[in-house]
Amino acid sequence: MANGATIKVLYFAQVAELTKLREEQWPLSEPMRGTDWLAGLGDRYPQLAPVTRLKLAVNQHHVPHDSLIRPGDEVAVFEPVTGG
| Domain hosting residue 24, numbered range | 2-78
H-helix segments, the chain? 13-19, 34-44
Residue 66 resides in a domain: yes
Q: Which pLDDT tens digit goes with each residue over 25-63?
A: 999 999 999 999 999 999 999 999 999 999 999 999 999
CA neighbours closer than 13 Å in the CB half-sphere of residue 28: 24
The pTM of the full predicted model, rounded to 2 decimals, is: 0.90
Residue 84 resides in a domain: no
Q: Which pLDDT tens digit goes with each residue over 3-29?
A: 569 999 999 999 999 999 999 999 999
The number of domains in the chain is 1
Residue-level pLDDT at 84: 53
Residue 23 resides in a domain: yes
Name the band, by pLDDT with cuts 50, 70 and 90, for residue 2.
Answer: very low
Residue 83 resides in a domain: no
CATH code (residue 58): 3.10.20.30
Residue 28 resides in a domain: yes
Residue 74 resides in a domain: yes
Residues 58 and 75 sit within 8 Å (Cβ to Cβ): yes
Name the band, by pLDDT with cuts 50, 70 and 90, for residue 81.
Answer: confident
Residue 31 resides in a domain: yes
Residue-level pLDDT at 11: 97
